[in-house]
Amino acid sequence: MCAAVAVNLRTGGTVTFPGICIVWGLAVMVMVYSVGHISGAHLNPAVSIAFATCGRFPWKQVPAYAAAQMLGATAASLTLRVVFGNAREHFFGTVPAGSDVQSLVIEFIISFNLMFVVSGVATDNRAIGELAGLAVGATVLLNVLFAGPISGASMNPARTLGPAVVIGRYAGIWLYFVGPICGTVAGAWAYNLIRFTDKPLREITRTSSFLRSARRN
């Protein structure tokens, strides 16, 4: 996803902002369908933590998942630095465009939205599991379209930390941990409050959907 930003900056905006939004959404969708049945497609430590807080992911696995997510983001960022250089004007990370408070609030809101959708398609067997990747990818696309010009639309501490470590630019990095983690935890618990019902609309006993492990826990 950072590659779309890097290419756009290096080529004078040929990808365009809507193009970046589409790339981000499609990238998440593809990864959900590719590895969701293997690892649960936990690309985001904030999502892993949020699931753990409501008992849908084991806490003992959170450190390993978070380490893998951070390592992957850093390795990807290092690759982009080697390919495109590290000029300050070509920074492909996320930094606040306005005040820290604005970005913090925006990151909370879009992370809440993302986790609410993920909880719906990953933990509720009434959902159509086969459409999970599409739903999550579309949510990412809309969030980036809305929040990109303000906060960079991180939603993911790993997505922000990787470029920051590689390039050495840490402006406002704390809010990309606090906002997404608090937002995803709130989103997960918000869905938990409304998900229970005595009359299931549909029971799906076999599914290859995103984050199947979350349904088992």
115 lies in a domain? yes
65 lies in a domain? yes
Q: What is the C-alpha to C-alpha distance for residues 120 and 205, in angstroms, rounded to an integer?
A: 16
Q: What domain range is 16 assigned to?
A: 2-34+42-84+96-196
Query: 133 with 159: CB under 8 angstroms?
Result: no
Task: Pick out the chain residues at pLDDT < 70.
Answer: 127-128, 196-217
Q: Please report the pLDDT score of residue 84 as a whole number.
A: 87
Q: Please report the pLDDT score of residue 37 as a whole number.
A: 82
Q: Please report the pLDDT score of residue 38 as a whole number.
A: 84
Query: 103 with 172: CB under 8 angstroms?
Result: yes
Q: What CATH number does residue 145 fall under?
A: 1.20.1080.10
Q: What is the C-alpha to C-alpha distance for residues 166 and 198, in angstroms, rounded to an integer?
A: 51
Measured CA distances, 58 to 46, 118, 214 (Å):
14, 17, 9
89 lies in a domain? no
204 lies in a domain? no
Two tokens at 130?
A: 């086969």
48 lies in a domain? yes
Instruction: Tell me how many domains the chain contains.
Output: 1
Query: 30 with 23: CB under 8 angstroms?
Result: no
The C-alpha angle 183, 185, 187, rounded to 5 degrees, equals 65
Two tokens at 29?
A: 């969708």
62 lies in a domain? yes
With H, G, I as helix, E, B as strand and everything else as coil, classify residue 190: helix
61 lies in a domain? yes
Which residues neighbour 198 within 8 Å (Cβ) at sequence distance 6 or greater? Answer: none
25 lies in a domain? yes
152-182 per-position pLDDT tens digit: 999 999 999 999 999 988 989 999 999 999 9
Q: Please report the pLDDT score of residue 150 as a whole number.
A: 94
Q: Please report the pLDDT score of residue 124 as a whole number.
A: 72
